[in-house]
Structure 1
Amino acid sequence: MIRLSPLLLVLMAGLPAGTSAQGLLPGCRLENGSLQCVPGLTADPQQQIQVLEGQINRDVQTEGHLEQAIEGLKRFELIGEAKEGQLIKAELMLQGGGFEEVHIHWYRRNNQGNWQLVDNVTESTYRVGPSDRGEQLMAVLVVRTSDGKVQRISSNVLGPVSN
Structure 2
Amino acid sequence: MRVRVQEADFDVGVELAALRQGNPQIGAVASFVGLVRANNDGAGVSEMSLEHYPGMTEKALGEIVEEACRRWAIIDALVIHRVGRLLPSDQIVLVAVAGGHRGEAFAACEFIMDYLKTRAPFWKREVTPSGARWVDARDADDQAAERWQEPGTA
TM above 0.5, yes or no, is no
Structure richer in helix, relative to its length: 2
Give TM class, smaller chain: under 0.3
Which has the bigger relative contact order, CA under 8 A and spacing at least 6? 2
